[in-house]
Amino acid sequence: MRIREVRAGEVPLLQEIERAAGAGFREVGMPEIADDEPFSAAELAPFLAAGLAWVAVDGADRPVAYLIAERIDGALHVEQVSVHPAHARRGIGRALLEHLATRARAEGVSALTLTTFADVPWNAPYYARCGFHPVPDDTLGPGLREVRAREAAHGLDRWPRLVMSRPL
């Protein structure tokens, strides 16, 4: 599986991947998350412009997974990582995370961060297997506190959420 930067014309494919990946939330009693709309082209544009958006592509160079990140509190923060279910359980999500870790190390960044659902098997338990650990709320920097506030305003706190970090 090859990883490369997202091309501007691929935004609809990222949205398709996100919708397909999100459908699994219906199976764990979170239909609101399954029905949540993916990032719009305007919302994705800053990630592409910053060079912080990557896709994993198949042999035909078609995206099957993506990761977008941003710089928050001195870390590279995983804003979204999604793998199309037809390509799940093959290490693609982990490969995208490793790609980001390599980029972070090259920039002298000492950690990756993310926010996730605590009790969804392919969320916090998965990220723990990828080397992430929970970060206590009282130690969050201002950027991560802002991320959590946005998530709460969006209604994501209906389910247990947490911030996780992976030292590099």
pLDDT digits (tens, 9 = 90+) for 9-53: 999 999 999 999 999 999 999 999 999 999 999 999 999 999 999
In terms of residue numbers, what domain contains 49?
2-167
**Statement: residue 161 has pLDDT above 90:** yes
Question: Tokens in use for 167?
Answer: 């030292």
H helix or E strand, kind and range, residue 49: helix 41-49
pLDDT digits (tens, 9 = 90+) for 49-89: 999 999 999 999 999 999 999 999 999 999 999 999 999 99
pLDDT reported for residue 8: 84
Alpha-carbon distance of 133 to 121, in angstroms, equals 15
Alpha-carbon distance of 11 to 9, in angstroms, equals 6
- Give the global pTM: 0.95
Domain total for the chain?
Answer: 1
91: CATH: 3.40.630.30
Range 141-149, long-range pairs (CB < 8 A, 24+ positions): 141/72, 141/73, 141/74, 142/73, 143/72, 143/73, 143/77, 144/72, 144/73, 144/77, 144/113, 144/115, 147/72, 147/77, 147/115, 148/115
pLDDT digits (tens, 9 = 90+) for 90-112: 999 999 999 999 999 999 999 99
